[in-house]
Amino acid sequence: MRTCALGGPSCCQKGGFLLFRKAKSVDTVVLLLLALPGLAHFLVFKYIPLAGNVIAFQDYNMFAGVFHSKWVGLKHFIFMFQYAEFALVLKNSLKYGLYSILFGFPAPLLLALLLNEIRLSWFKRATQTMLYLPHFLSWVIVGGIFTELLSRQGLVNRLLGEWFGMEAISFLTEPRYFMGMVIGLGVWKEVGWSMIIYLAAISGINPNLYEAAMVDGAGRLKQAWHITLPSLLPAIVVLLLLQIGNILDANVEQVLFFLNPLVREAGEVFDTYVYRVGLMGGQYSYTTAIGVFKAVVGIVLVVGLNKLSRRTTGESIY
């Protein structure tokens, strides 16, 4: 055993332990400093604003402030469920959320599985770039482009008329087309970005599993079914639960850009309703009650489905 000039082998062991603890503490400080901006973001923009939910139980007056506004208890929640317009907005929000999950959730997973089968690296990188590029475009740009394409004199209607002899379709003003158009554009814009998460998870799968499957005679389809998908199950469960928790949320920029009086009955969702009635109409307490209602529904869905997922698949987010 090595000896220390200051006091034998025990001194070396103590010195090494102290150096290890010091290095570990420095790493901890560095990691905390790196996490500090993210923690500050959540603290300032997510947790502190939660205190504002108290105005859902008040007749809030911005001149009187939170501490001097009249307390009314559950008045706004009772009014919310009795108001006829609330049922319509709830129906549209649920439809938007369910269709977004039904069509938007499996799309990036399927794209990731298909892209993973491409062997030409240059083509794979180019395709991946093209797929997630729309994510970086604002809805003002995307909305302006598709407003021109889908108008009655736009390219889509001209092609339908020339190829199939169809009359011009009012995609932007017909209520029956509004929800499908908005959800389809949302899936197109975000599918590439969500796909990156699955590609990252696929890259972490042990390649020896695929080699063993090939030796056993499994083709590409069976490899994807028995190796890739089970390996992606933790990521699938987490992303699905997070999306279900936001089932009553909509992309307010997207819906608000295409929303107009002709399609309001089919396209008004909670976020646009809160913007119109709360911010524009000044009914802050009532629309805050709607926000609390949405949050409670999201929490109940996440907790309940998380328990169900833990029992059925063994995977959960906590």
pLDDT, tens digit, for every residue of 246-288? 888 888 888 988 998 899 888 899 999 999 888 888 889 999 9
What would the mean pLDDT of 293-302 be, rounded to a whole number? 91
Name the more confident of 59 and 316.
59
Instruction: Answer whether residue 98 shows pLDDT above 90.
Output: yes
pLDDT computed for residue 315 by the predictor: 74
Q: Which residue has 């396209």 as its token pair?
A: 267
Domains, the chain, in order of start with CATH, read 75-313 (1.10.3720.10)
In three-state secondary structure terms, 70 is strand
pLDDT computed for residue 188 by the predictor: 92
CB 47 within 8 A of CB 53: no
In which band, very low, low, confident or very high, does the pLDDT at 1 lie, cut at 50, 70 and 90? very low
Instruction: Answer whether residue 195 shows pLDDT above 80.
Output: yes
CA distance 196 to 212: 26
Instruction: Answer whether residue 77 shows pLDDT above 60.
Output: yes
pLDDT, tens digit, for every residue of 14-66? 555 454 555 567 778 888 888 899 999 999 998 898 888 999 999 998 888 88
∠ Cα 125 117 315 (to 5°): 100
Instruction: Answer whether residue 3 shows pLDDT above 50.
Output: no
pLDDT, tens digit, for every residue of 100-157? 999 999 999 999 998 888 888 888 888 888 988 999 999 999 999 999 999 888 899 8
Which DSSP symbol is given to 64? T
User: Average pLDDT of the chain?
Assistant: 86
State phi, psi for 293 to the nearest 5 degrees: -60, -45
pLDDT, tens digit, for every residue of 237-247? 888 888 888 88
In three-state secondary structure terms, 59 is strand
The residues with which 71 forms a beta bridge, in sequence order, are 58
CA distance 122 to 130: 12
In which band, very low, low, confident or very high, does the pLDDT at 2 lie, cut at 50, 70 and 90? very low
What would the mean pLDDT of 167-195 be, rounded to a whole number? 90
pLDDT computed for residue 297 by the predictor: 92
Nearest partner of 146 among 258, 252, 256, judged by Cα: 258
Instruction: Answer whether residue 222 shows pLDDT above 80.
Output: yes
- Percent of the chain at pLDDT > 70 equals 92
pLDDT computed for residue 21 by the predictor: 59
pTM passes above 0.85:
no
Q: What kind and span of H or E run contains 253? A: helix 252-258
pLDDT computed for residue 207 by the predictor: 87
Contacts 24+ apart (CB under 8 A), 231-239: 231/201, 231/202, 231/205, 232/109, 232/198, 232/201, 232/202, 233/313, 233/315, 234/315, 235/197, 235/198, 235/201, 236/109, 237/309, 237/313, 237/315, 237/316, 237/317, 238/315, 238/317, 239/105, 239/194, 239/197
pLDDT computed for residue 189 by the predictor: 92
pLDDT computed for residue 16 by the predictor: 52
